[in-house]
Amino acid sequence: MRFHFSPKTPLLSLSSSSITSLCLRPFLPSAPKSHFYPSLACHVSTGGNLRMDSTSPDPSSSSSVSVDSVADGLKNQSFREHDISKNNNNMNNENKKNNGKLSLEDLNWDHSFVRELPGDPRNDSIPRQVFHACYTKVLPSAEVENPKLVAWSDSVADLLDLDPKEFGRPDFPLKFSGASPLAGAVPYAQCYGGHQFGTWAGQLGDGRAITLGEIMNSKLERWELQLKGAGKTPYSRFADGLAVLRSSIREFLCSEAMHFLGIPTTRALCLVTTGKFVTRDMFYDGNPKDEPGAVVCRVSQSFLRFGSYQIHASRGGEDLGIVRSLADYAIRHHFPHIENMSKSESLSFSTGDNDQSVVDLTSNKYAAWTVEIAERTASLVARWQGVGFTHGVLNTDNMSILGLTIDYGPFGFLDAFDPSYTPNVTDLPGRRYCFANQPDIGLWNIAQFASTLMTANLISDQEANYAMERYGTKFMDDYQAILSQKLGLQKYNKQLVNKLLSNLAVDKVDYTNFFRALSNIKADPSIPGDELLVPLKAVLLDMGKERKEAWTSWVQSYIQEHKEHVARHVFLSGYSVNHLVASGVSDEERKASMNSVNPKYVLRNYLCQSAIDAAEMGDLEEVRRLLKVMERPYDEQPGMEKYARLPPAWAYRPGVCMLSCSS
Residues in the chain: 663
Q: What is the dihedral of CA 228, 229, 235, 238, to 10 degrees?
A: 150
Alpha-carbon torsion, ordered 302, 148, 278, 658, to 10 deg: 60
In the 3-class helix/strand/coil scheme, how is 63-98 assigned residue by residue? CCCCCCHHHHHHHCCCCCCCCCCHHHHCCCHHHCEC
Distance separating alpha carbons of residues 124 and 212, to the nearest angstrom:
16
**Alpha carbon distance 188, 137 (integer Å):** 4
Alpha-carbon distance values, 554 to 11, 22, 101, 431 (Å): 44, 21, 54, 30
Active site residue 397: yes
CA dist 159 and 175 (Å) reads 19
Query: How many whole angstroms separate alpha carbon 238 and alpha carbon 7?
Result: 21
Dist. CA 314–CA 11, nearest whole Å = 11
Comparing CA positions, the residue from 311, 310, 372 lying closest to residue 338 is: 372
Q: What residues have CB less than 8 Å from 371, skipping those under 6 apart?
A: 70, 71, 361, 463, 466, 467, 470
β partners of residue 296 = 228, 271
* Pairing of β 135-137 and β 148-152: unpaired
Catalytic residue (choose from 397, 418, 477, 478): 397
Distance, in Å, from the CA atom of 491 to the CA atom of 548, rounded to the nearest integer, reads 27
DSSP helix/strand/coil, 593: helix
Give catalytic residue positions. Answer: 397
